[in-house]
Every structure is written in C-alpha cells, then in structure tokens.
Structure 1
Amino acid sequence: MKKIRNYRFLVLLFVVTMIATGCQSDSSSGEASGQVEFDFWSAPNPSQQVFWEDMAKQYMEENEEVKINVSPMPESPSSEAGIQSAIAAGNAPTISENISRGFAAQLAGSSAVVPLEEFEGYDELIKERKMEETISTWKFADDHQYVLPIYSNAMLFGWRTDILKELGFDAPPKTYDEVLEVGKKLKEKYPDKFLWSRADLVKPTWWARWFDFFMLYNGASEGNSFVEGSELVANNEAGVATLQLLKDLSEKDLLLTREATDPFETGQSIMMDIGPWTFSYWDEKFPEMKLGETYELTMPPVPESVDYENSKTFADTKGLSIYASATKEQQQAAFDFIKWVYSNPEHDLEWFKQTNLPPARDDLSENEAFTAFLEENPELQEYAKNIPNAVPPIDSEVTVEVQELIGTEAVNPVIQGEKDAEEAWSDMTDAIDKVLK
C-alpha cells in the first residue's frame, strides 16, 4: 500500500508540474512572438476590477507589444488562501493587488514575491506619484519593498458632536483625560448611553486589533513600530497607557461590548472607529448624518504627554506585489504598466471616484487634481490629509499570531476586568517574544 501511495504521489506531482510548465509556456508564448503577456489579479471587488480593466485597456492601446489579462483573484476561503494555493500549484499571476503588509511578509519569507525597488524605474515611480513619505513606513525588516501601496485609509474616530454639545463640549476630546471627562458627563446626563460601542473589544479576532488597539497605540506612541523582523520593539509606556485607557473606559461603563445595530448612528454611543467606506452606507440608510452637523472626524485621542497635532493612526491599506514565478520579462512589463498608471494623477482620481479608497499619495489633500472631488466629498478630506500620518500593519510572517495575543493576553482581559494594564502588557510582550523567536 505504501508503494501504491508513493506511486500516486509521484503521478500527481508529475501532473502538477506539467500543468505549471504548460501555464508558464502559455504565458511565455506571447513573448516568443514579440509580445509580453501577463495576468493581473484584481481584488474581488467589482469597482476595483472595473478600474484595472479600464487601465489595462488604455495601456494596451498605447503598447501593442503587451497583453494584460485582468481577472478577480479567487477568494475561497479567502483571497490570501487563493493566492497561496495558486503559488503552490504554479498558477500564480504575474502581479496582484489586495496584498497587506503582513501577508506580504509571509510571501517574502517564502521568496514568492520580488523586491520592487530592484525594478528599473522604481525611484521615478515613487517621485512621480508623490509618495516618498507614505512608502517610507512600508519598508520591510530586510530593507526591501515588497508591496506598492495603492490606497491608505487613515482610520479616524467619529464623534457625535450634536450630543457633545448637549453635554457642554464644543469640540471632540483630544486627550485621554478629556475623553474620560466626556464619558463622565455622558453618564450623568444619559446613563444608558455609551462612549464607544465595539463588540470586538472582548473578542480575540486578530484583524480587529487594527481598528481598536493599533489606532490608539499608534497615536500614543507617535507612530513607533511594534514589531521589526523577529524583534518586539513596541513602546512600553505607550502600550500600558493604551491598555489603561481601555480599562478606565470599561470600569466606568463607557464601553458597549455586546452586539448592537448602528449604535453610533442612533446615538446609543457617541464615538466610533470609522473608515471611508462608511459614508456610502450612511447616504443610503442615514442621510441625517451630516459632517459638521451631527458628527466630526478626528485622529485618535492621545495621552497628555503626546502632541496631538502630530499624532498618528492606523492605516487600513493594501497594495500591489509582483510574483517570483513570472519570467523577468513579465515582471518588468507588469512594473512598467504600474508605473504608467501612477504617472498620471488623473488615474488616481478615477480610482478614488470609483472606490472611495484614498490613493496612497502624500499630496492627496493638496494636489489640484483632487480638489474638486474632495470639495464635493468633504467627509473624505480628513482621510486625505492624514495619509502621511497613518502607520501600516506590522510586517511579520506571524502577524496573525501576534495580533491574536494582543487580544487574548491584553485587550480582552483588561476590558473584562481580569488584569490591570501593566500585568496585561507584560503577559502580552512575553507571549509575543516567544512567538517571534
């Protein structure tokens, strides 16, 4: 039986190899006739697929020697799993979007993606797109750049300013002490209301930490890194302060950690972590939500020792990667296509209009190409302004494990009253150190 199983394995391996070889031959066939053909996988989002199909069509009209096949990436059970399966089977595209920094670290660890700074024209691309500051926070621990960020959502907090005014506050709080003072007044006037409604605060869900812990930690630490390579470099003082704020909010009954439907919109809570995807939902369901009337958008509050005007936040952001399995000609052709796309701010404007995802440009709030669109959509202006102040996800092959430990060892137990802030931080850092080593 063992020999039969081994034989079947060898046959399967042979078939997979032949398929992979066939795919590579098919992709290279255009190159033999003077045409470079490559596959581009867009995110599994209709608006993004339409954008890239249009860009590819325009580019091919100007460059007849290139053929670009745009299709959405498989997303079962996730887009990351779809990419990993394609790599294992030898069917990876030449280039794809929808790559987070943490996932790119996994791909780079297995040499599945190539460093972008090694391509001819890379420096010109970064300068032409005005993204020197934004890209600087994306550099990986090995000093390479494996992802070109496409968009960057500088995550903000929304505040129900109409309710704040009822409590006697003319503007949203900026510091932890001011947040707690708002909470005190809220409970005095409205005992059944909460400051922040977020059920994920008591869940270990790894990606949830982006939108609670890392928003606050990045502000408290002034953008200090959390993990670099295999080393935990987190700012201890900022980390403990972040957990202490969460503990204080929980003890004062200012956190709603059970599931609730539209608590911010209905006024059940007065603070909410908000991304720009929220506004199309409000346009349809809650047209009464008006910037400057019922709510304002702000950067995360910070400890009293931190300069709020220069604070940081978390960047919900993804980008493009080029795969090592493609031929050199395909890789360069894909890079040249991307360079062409981002050499014209009008292309970024079209992306912004179609997706509502702010392009990862340092000059988004200042470039005249975007002025009219931002004036028509004032709720997006604060996101555009803070792109340079947004810190991307950690670049670690064990991102999932690290962020699960932030939840299970620190955030969750602090909010549930099981640990104090310093104990939780110590337990968390010890556990993360073991995972990184």
Structure 2
Amino acid sequence: MKNNSWMRLFIVMLAVAMLASACQKPGEEGSADGKVEFEFWSAPNPTQQAFWSDMAKAYMQENKDVKIKVTPMPESPSSEAGIQSAIAAGNAPAISENISRGFAAQLSASSAIVPLEEFDGYDELIKNREMTETMSTWKFADNHQYVLPIYSNAMLFGWRMDILKELGFDEPPKTYSEVLEVGEKLKEKHPDKFLWARADLVKPTWWARWFDFFMMYNAASEGNNFVEGDKFIADDKAGVETLEFMKNLSEKDLLLTREATDPFETGQAIMMDIGPWTFPYWADKFPEMKQGETYELSMPPVPDGVDPENAKTFADTKGLSIYASASKEQQQAAFDFVKWVYSDAENDLTWFEKTNLPPARDDLSTNETFAQYFEENPQLVKYAENIPNAVPPIDSENTVEIQEAIGKDALNPVIKGQKEPKQAWKDMKKSIDGMLK
C-alpha cells in the first residue's frame, strides 16, 4: 500500500522504539513494590477521564497488586498524532481509548497494537458485555480484533415533524421516492426552505463523509463493506444509486450547501444528520425541540426496492486498544482491567450517564439496567436499538485518502452538477484502487 511520508517516518521511528524497548533490563516495566503498573490514556474529555479514573480506583481497591495511572492523551495537533509520537518515542501507554477503526488499521499495519482476541478472557468479555453482533462488524481484514468499541452512535436523521405534518405526512420518509415526494411538497408550500442543510456536501473534508455519504451508502448497500485490506469491494449499484439520489436532491434545490446557523432548529431545513450529542445543546438553546412533536428520528432512507427494515447506517464509534510496546504482563493486566469494567452493566450505565455516548452493547435497548435511563431520555432509544445496524469506519490505513477521494471525485462534483453519478463513481473507484495497490 502507498503511505504518506509521515507514515513511513512513523514506521522507522517505531522500529527504533521497539528495539530500545527490547533492550530494557528485566523488571524495568514493573514497580519497586512488585505491583504491575500500567498507564491508561483516556480521551481528552473531562467526563471520560473522570469515568476511567473512578473505574481504576475501584479496580485497584479490589486488586492490590495492580497500579493504574489514568491520564488524558495528548491532543496536539490531534490525539492520533499524539499517540503516534508517543509510540515513536517509546512513551506509549499500555492501553488507550479514543481509537477509531481507520486509525487502528494504521497502527496494526505497523504492529503497534496487539490483537485482543488472543488475551485470556476475551470470549468471556464479549459474552458478558453482550456485544457479539457489534464486534462482528469490527473484525479487521486480517481476521483480528484490534479495538474493543466502547460506544457506538448509530447516526440517525432528524425530521421536523411539525413541518412534515403541515405538508400532509405523518411519519418520516423511508425511501428515495418518498423523500423526493416530501421535497416536492416542501418547495410548493415553502420555496425558501430546504430538505437538508449541509455545507460539507460540497467540501472534500475527509471525516465529513461519515455523516453524509456513508450514512446513505450503508443504508443503500445494507451494510456492504467499502474496502477490505487492499481491495475495493464496495457495492457499485448501491454507490451509484446513492450519488443519483444526491444529484436529484441538488437539482431540485433541496440542498442548502452554504453555511447556515441552526437551519434545522429554525425550520430552514427539515432533515438533519443527528448524533446523541445534539440533545444537550437543544435542551440549553432550543427547549422547544421535543421528540414526537417538533422532530422525529429515523434511519437513513433507502433506494426504492430496498427494504427499509434492513437499512444500516454509519456508526460514530471509538474504542480501546492495547499497545505492543507494553510488556506482556502490562498488556494482560490492562485487558483484565477492561474485562472487569465490562463485567457489570452498571458500569456501562455510569458511562452513559456521564458521557451521553451509548455503550456498544447489542442489548442496550432491552437490558433492564438501562430501562429507567431510557424512560428519562426517550430520544436515545432509537440510537440504542440501531447499534447492531451501525457500520463502523473502514479499516484501512488509507482511510483519510480514500474518504477525500469520495468527496473530490464523486460526492462534491455530483452535487455541484459537474459530473454524472456513474462517471463520478468510476473516477472515485479508479482513485481508490490506485491507493490500495
């Protein structure tokens, strides 16, 4: 695979760091009092750091022979760059959270993280946390599991139900033709309104594709993978249909692609990609936004002929990885700590309450532990129900370049009217194939 200059430098520096680590004297990785010590890097978020600090304190109370130091990971210029720098310098922790599937592919390609399924107790962990189905979509191209997902935001679309009802619709549209029908009625009654306001649709920003293209593509393809190892395996039919749908929306003036302030909340647009982090903002700034009255949530629409019940979406999700530079003793101790945390659903409830990020559990919507929380926060129920239907980011060390190509070669020019969908898909495919060889 082709890598950028930073990645090549990173691999060289990693090799040097691992050689230095191999030359350590016996016992250097332990503590003077015989305890197993390891460092846990939390995400650079106060609520997540607080959660892991509390978990570490509780675990150490029960396990006196373990010492865990929880610190937030460096985030300048990004948390990914901070992790890479630490690995190259030989200063990596034993374990960290905040790892996306795409970034894990980079780390695993240079043997910087270790397969989790090889640890004693792995199967028990997956069983106890009820995450077998969720983990099936996280398997990497080499059949290993390098990341244990902590949370999973099954990205949904919000619809302004007050405006839909005004147009004569009682529920959000589920298929492309239904969406276009809504759009036609909208323009007839409110020519100045739009279906979807999203300036990123005409920008090549790589991460933006998670919240537009991949939501739509995953729904159209019923969750078909996009790349696998060094092969482009995307569903061509679903990909072209996704672009054709976006073209139709653009041609019918249903997309607002210039910057706008709170277009969904103000009713300038009636559809918006929404994650659970939106609701605290609404509670503070837009208390009139009430589920079932002002808005409703739905999975992404699908092409005509595709069963909406089989729709998939994008999973905004990150997890834990264990680093190869740690000693075997530290690695197992770190894994045992994680296994202990996830042996009790009450810990996932605490996480949910502190962070508003849905735990990556198959049973989140049915487990009685979370019932009262969902009664108090009904807007989160649909996110929980669709965790098994949410597809994580692609596992490629070329994730950034691949998603830039989706924007530059396909999505952006189609929406701007510069390319036809079939040609755009063909051009994008050619670019991505070149990256993967």
RMSD: 1.8
| Correspondence for 2:116 | 116
Could you say what secondary structure the match of 2:362 adopts?
A: coil
CA pair 412-242 structure 1, distance change in 2 beyond 3 A: same
Counterpart of 1:434 in structure 2: which amino acid? G
Residues 301-310 or 91-100, more deviating: 301-310
Q: Structure 1 pair 17/254, CA: closer, same or farther in 2 (3 Å)?
A: closer
What's the counterpart of residue 9 of structure 1?
A: none
Q: CA deviation at 1:63?
A: 0.2
Instruction: Please give the alpha-carbon distance, in whole angstroms, between the structure 1 residues aligned to 2:151 and 2:403.
Output: 22
Q: Which residue of 2 aligns with 1:308?
A: 308
| SS of corresponding position for 2:321 | strand
Q: Deviations over 1:88-133 (max 9, x none)?
A: 1000000000000000000000000000000000000000000000
SS of the equivalent of 1:296 reads strand
Q: Distance in 1 between matches of 2:123 and 2:28?
A: 28
2:105 matched to which residue of 1? 105
Aligned counterpart, 2:159: 159
CA contact (8 A) 1:28 1:36 kept: no
Q: Shift of residue 310 of structure 1?
A: 1.9
Q: Secondary structure at the match of 2:37?
A: strand
1:332 equivalent in structure 2? 332
Residues 313-349 of structure 1: CA deviation (Å, up to 9, x unaligned): 0000000000000000000000000000000000000
Give the corresponding residue for 1:287.
287
Distance, in Å, in 1 between the alignment partners of 2:348 and 2:203 is 36
Unaligned 5+ segments in structure 1 are 1-12
Deviation at 1:175, TM superposition (A): 0.2
Aligned-partner SS, 1:30:
coil
Q: Give the corresponding residue for 1:168.
A: 168
Say if 1:417 and 1:120 are closer, same or farther in 2 by CA, change over 3 A. Answer: same
SS where residue 207 of structure 1 aligns? helix
For 1:251, the equivalent position in structure 2 comes to: 251
Mark the CA change 1:23 to 1:156 in structure 2 (over 3 Å): closer, same or farther.
Answer: farther
Q: One-letter code of the match for 1:284?
A: D
Report the CA distance between 1:422 and its aligned residue: 0.6
Residue in structure 2 matched with residue 186 of structure 1 by the alignment: 186
Q: 1:252 and 1:23, CA in 2 relative to 1: closer, same or farther beyond 3 A?
A: farther
1:30, CA displacement in angstroms? Answer: 3.4
Provide the residue aligned with 1:8 in structure 2: none
1:10 match: none
Q: Matches of 2:128 and 2:429 in 1, distance apart?
A: 40
Distance 1:26 1:72 in 2: 28
Indicate yes or no: 2:121 matched with 1:127.
Answer: no
Aligned-partner Cα distance in 1 for 2:273–2:426: 27
What is the one-letter code of the residue matched to 2:136?
S
Contact 1:243/1:411 (CA < 8 Å) preserved in 2?
yes
1:394 aligns with 2:394: yes
Shift of 1:246: 0.4
Shift of 1:35: 0.6
**53-62 vs 300-309, which moves further:** 300-309
Aligned residue in 1 for 2:209: 209
Distance 1:318 1:25 in 2: 35
State the match for 2:407 in structure 1: 407
How far apart are residue 305 of structure 1 and its match?
Answer: 1.3
With the length of structure 2 as denominator, give the TM-score of the two structures. 0.94
Match of 2:7 in 1: none
Work out the CA distance in 1 between the residues paired with 2:36 and 2:43: 23
Among the aligned pairs, what percent are the same residue? 77
CA distance in 1: counterparts of 2:160 and 2:24, whole angstroms: 55
Query: 1:7: which partner in 2?
Result: none
- Structure 1 position 419 matched with structure 2 position 415: no
Partner of 2:30: helix, strand, or coil?
Answer: helix
Aligned CA distance change for structure 1 residues 26 and 92 (closer, same or farther; 3 Å): farther
Q: CA deviation at 1:28?
A: 3.8
3-state SS in 2 of match to 1:130 = coil
Q: 1:28 to 1:258 in 2, by over 3 A?
A: same
Is the 2:21–2:325 contact (alpha carbons within 8 Å) kept by the matching residues of 1? no
Kindly state the Cα deviation for residue 61 of structure 1 after the two structures are TM-superposed: 0.3
Shift of 1:17: 7.0
Corresponding letter in the other structure for 2:135 = I
Aligned counterparts of 1:217 and 1:375: Cα–Cα separation in 2:
32
CA distance in 2, matches of 1:163, 1:346: 40
Q: Does 1:140 align with 2:140?
A: yes
Cα distance in 2 for residues equivalent to 1:228 and 1:74: 30
Contact 1:154/1:389, CA 8 A, preserved across alignment: yes
Distance between the aligned counterparts of 1:129 and 1:34, measured in 2?
31
Residue of structure 2 in register with 1:238 after alignment: 238
Residue type of the partner of 2:272?
M
In structure 2, what residue type is equivalent to 1:117?
E
Match of 1:299 in 2: 299
Aligned to 2:275: 275
Contact 1:149–1:319 (CA under 8 A) maintained in structure 2: yes
Could you list the per-position Cα deviations for residues 272-321 of structure 1 after superposition, in whole angstroms to 9, with x for gaps in the alignment? 00000000000000000000010000000001111101210000000000
Cα separation, 2, equivalents of 1:17 and 1:421: 47
**Alpha-carbon separation, structure 1, partners of 2:180 and 2:57:** 54
SS of aligned partner of 1:259: coil
